[in-house]
Amino acid sequence: MSRKQEGFRSILIFGGAGFIGSNWAHRLLDTTDAKIHIFDNLSRPGVRYNLQSLQRKAGNSGRLQITVADVRDAARVEKAVRFATEIYHFAAQVAVTTSVNDPRLDFDVNLGGTFNVLEAARKCERKPFMLFTSTNKVYGQLANRPVIARNSHYEFLSGTGISESQPLDLHSPYGCSKGAADQYWRDYARIYDLPTVVFRMSCVCGPRQFGTEDQGWVAHFLYSALHGRPVVIYGDGRQMRDLLYIDDLLRAFELAREHQSKTRGQVFNIGGGAEHAISLLHLIAEVERLTGRTLDYAFDERRPGDQLLYITDTGRFEEVTGWKPEVRPAQALKKMYDWWKRNREMFPAAETAEMSPSMTAALEQLSRVA
């Protein structure tokens, strides 16, 4: 479809300066004539760099609008939604540990903020296409899917990946807030005829991701090795995850919209699948091979609600849209490493940033071992 044939697109991205949002905005600026509206409170580390990059790309085109505000502010949300033809909701409190320490904040941002977006869309009566990124954490510890331990990874005792038929098990305040939000998002399609789509996502990685030990673990491991900082592994390191490179996710966004007659009101599990799965220990080995640097790490107890193994069954979305993930973990890591080499000026502040208590403990442990 040509740009002229698409018609006018006014695209609002909540959390648009973050990892996924900024990559999506870059893609839209490159491949469409759409007007892009970034709505972000700029609270995440590194997002100001992402915003500056978007401003440079947009230049004087007039296609980029920026609102610095919080999704908890219903009035600001309603004002932003008023003229949108598409809404992508990525703004969230993203860490399980933060949700445990401050469940009220988690509730207000993830559920209250999502409700604000939905209500604003309902009131504007434009029926914009709406996509929400949820999480595999809504499935909890997967108690009905026993695993067996191999030398360097876990695998399911039987069966393959996790499909949308997996029962919800909202474990942790984060799982509860995101799970409730994705149910609201889905139900607004049924009750108010809004074309909403939910993606329950596995681990997404790629450029413009400033990972921490709570979120963005692939970036966290890679950049920690490059900056000479230790990491903490919660558990034995054999935990397995399927990785999805950001460009594959962006293609999924495009296809969800193009096929909205079939995707509206639906929930899809989105991830790399079995062919793109890797354990923490395997990823560490790959980081060290790629960079030539050793990643120092210490072990700690597995955190409540952590899944030993999560691999996505993406069959339903593939059947509806023809999508398949293409970038393998080693390729994704190489792309991230190359991006880091081109943007090293973004990272010095991170090297001197205050470390979390677990990071400090890990450093002390490594010092004792040495």
Give the domain CATH number at 152: 3.40.50.720
Residue 1 has pLDDT above 90, yes or no: no
Query: 257-300, pLDDT tens digit by residue?
Result: 999 999 999 999 999 999 999 999 999 999 999 999 999 999 99
Asked whether residue 203 is assigned to any structural domain, the reply reads: yes
Asked whether residue 1 is assigned to any structural domain, the reply reads: no
Query: 113-170, pLDDT tens digit by residue?
Result: 999 999 999 999 889 999 999 999 999 999 899 999 999 999 999 988 999 999 999 9
Catalytic residue among 139, 154, 174, 297: 174
Q: What is the pLDDT of residue 215?
A: 83
Asked whether residue 317 is assigned to any structural domain, the reply reads: yes
Share of residues in the chain with pLDDT > 90 (%) = 83
Q: What CA dihedral angle connects 119, 37, 271 and 356, to 10 degrees? A: -90
Asked whether residue 280 is assigned to any structural domain, the reply reads: yes
Asked whether residue 26 is assigned to any structural domain, the reply reads: yes
Asked whether residue 49 is assigned to any structural domain, the reply reads: yes
Cβ–Cβ under 8 Å, residues 265 and 152: no
49 belongs to the catalytic site: no
Share of residues in the chain with pLDDT > 70 (%) = 92
CA 337 → CA 87, 208, 292, 314, 326, distances in Å? 31, 11, 12, 27, 18
Give me the domain span that covers residue 87.
7-369
Asked whether residue 112 is assigned to any structural domain, the reply reads: yes
Total number of domains in the chain: 1
3-state secondary structure of 206: coil
Q: What is the pLDDT of residue 170?
A: 93
Query: 171-184, pLDDT tens digit by residue?
Result: 899 999 999 999 99
CA 21, CA 40: separation in Å to the nearest integer? 10
Asked whether residue 55 is assigned to any structural domain, the reply reads: yes
pTM value? 0.92
Cβ–Cβ under 8 Å, residues 221 and 348: no
Q: How confident is the model at residue 227 (pLDDT cuts 50, 70, 90)?
A: very high
